[in-house]
Structure 1
Amino acid sequence: MLNKVPEVTIWFWIIKILCTTVGESFADWINMNLGVGLVNTALIFTGALAAVLAWQLSAARYIPFVYWLTVVVVSVTGTLYTDILTDSQGVPLALSSTAFAGVLAVVFGVWYVRERTLSVHSITTRPRELFYWLAVLVTFALGTATGDWTLELTGWTAGVSVLLPLGLIVAIIVGWRLGANAVLSFWLAYILTRPLGANLGDWFGSPGGDGGLGLGTALTSVIFLVAILATVVYLTLSRSDVIAAQDPTGSPRALNRATARERGMLAYYAVVAVAAAALLVWAHQQPHATPTGEEDTPAPVTSQITPQEATSPFPAAEIAKFRTITADTLAKVNAGDQRAATSRVKDLETAWDDDQSTLEPKSEKAWNFLDGQIDQVLKALRAPHPDKAGEVNALNTLLTSLG
Structure 2
Amino acid sequence: MRSNPRSPLEDAVSKVPAITFGFWIIKIAATTLGETSGDWVTMSLKLGYLVGSLIFLAGFLVLVSAQIRASRFYPVLYWATIVATTTLGTTLADFCDRSLGVGYPGGVSIVATLLVASLAVWYRVEGTVSVGSVVSARAEWFYWITIMFSQTLGTALGDWVAGEDRGGLGLGYEVGAAIFSGGLLITALLRLWPRISRTALFWVAFVLTRPLGATLGDLLDKPVAQGGLHFSRFYASGVLVAFIAGCILLLPQRAASRVNSAM
1:209 CA drift (Å): 4.1
1:221-271 deviation per Cα after TM superposition (whole angstroms, max 9, x unaligned): 122111111112235xx5x4323x42477xxxxx9xxx9xxxxxxxxxxxx
Aligned to 1:33: 44
How far, CA to CA, are the matches of 1:118 and 1:40 in structure 2?
A: 32
Is the contact between residue 143 and residue 195 of structure 1 (CA under 8 Å) also seen in structure 2?
A: yes
Corresponding letter in the other structure for 1:21: T
How far, CA to CA, are the matches of 1:113 and 1:37 in structure 2?
A: 37
Q: Please show how residues 8-157 of structure 1 align to structure 2 within 5 Å.
A: 8-152=19-163, 153-157=168-172
Aligned to 1:246: 258
1:121 CA drift (Å): 1.0
Given the alignment of the two structures, is residue 168 of structure 1 paired with residue 180 of structure 2, yes or no?
no
How far, CA to CA, are the matches of 1:219 and 1:191 in structure 2?
A: 26
Is the contact between residue 78 and residue 138 of structure 1 (CA under 8 Å) also seen in structure 2?
A: yes
How far, CA to CA, are the matches of 2:21 and 2:218 in structure 1?
A: 23
The alignment partner of 1:60 has SS state of coil
1:10 CA drift (Å): 0.6
Query: 30-39 or 123-132: which moved more?
Result: 30-39
Given the alignment of the two structures, is residue 234 of structure 1 paired with residue 247 of structure 2, yes or no?
no
Is the contact between residue 143 and residue 194 of structure 1 (CA under 8 Å) also seen in structure 2?
A: yes
How far, CA to CA, are the matches of 2:227 and 2:94 in structure 1?
A: 22
The alignment partner of 1:161 has SS state of helix
Percent identical? 32
How far, CA to CA, are the matches of 1:98 and 1:158 in structure 2?
A: 21
Q: Cα 1:109–1:48, aligned 2, differ >3 Å: closer, same or farther?
A: same
How far, CA to CA, are the matches of 1:99 and 1:34 in structure 2?
A: 27
TM-score (normalizing by structure 2): 0.87
1:47 CA drift (Å): 1.2
Corresponding letter in the other structure for 2:161: T
Corresponding letter in the other structure for 2:258: Q
Query: 226-235 or 66-75: which moved more?
Result: 226-235
Q: Please show how residues 382-393 of structure 1 align to structure 2 within 5 Å.
A: none
1:122 CA drift (Å): 1.3
1:96 CA drift (Å): 2.2
Aligned to 2:200: 184
The structure 1 segments of at least 4 consecutive aligned residues displaced by more than 4 Å after TM superposition are: none
Is the contact between residue 158 and residue 206 of structure 1 (CA under 8 Å) also seen in structure 2?
A: no
1:176 CA drift (Å): 1.2
How far, CA to CA, are the matches of 1:33 and 1:110 in structure 2?
A: 37
Q: Cα 1:96–1:214, aligned 2, differ >3 Å: closer, same or farther?
A: closer
Is the contact between residue 74 and residue 136 of structure 1 (CA under 8 Å) also seen in structure 2?
A: yes
Q: Cα 1:32–1:108, aligned 2, differ >3 Å: closer, same or farther?
A: closer
Is the contact between residue 133 and residue 258 of structure 2 (CA under 8 Å) also seen in structure 1?
A: yes
Q: Please show how residues 302-313 of structure 1 align to structure 2 within 5 Å.
A: none
1:4 CA drift (Å): 1.2
Aligned to 2:232: 216
1:287-307 deviation per Cα after TM superposition (whole angstroms, max 9, x unaligned): xxxxxxxxxxxxxxxxxxxxx
Q: How many residues are paired up?
A: 247
Is the contact between residue 49 and residue 92 of structure 2 (CA under 8 Å) also seen in structure 1?
A: no
1:207 CA drift (Å): 3.6
How far, CA to CA, are the matches of 1:62 and 1:75 in structure 2?
A: 20
How far, CA to CA, are the matches of 2:110 and 2:40 in structure 1?
A: 28
1:76-122 deviation per Cα after TM superposition (whole angstroms, max 9, x unaligned): 11221121122212122222212222222221112112211111011
How far, CA to CA, are the matches of 2:126 and 2:260 in structure 1?
A: 16
1:41 CA drift (Å): 1.5
Two-structure CA RMSD over aligned residues (Å): 2.0
Is the contact between residue 132 and residue 258 of structure 2 (CA under 8 Å) also seen in structure 1?
A: yes
Between Structure 1 and Structure 2, the one with more helix by share is: 1
Given the alignment of the two structures, is residue 7 of structure 1 paired with residue 18 of structure 2, yes or no?
yes
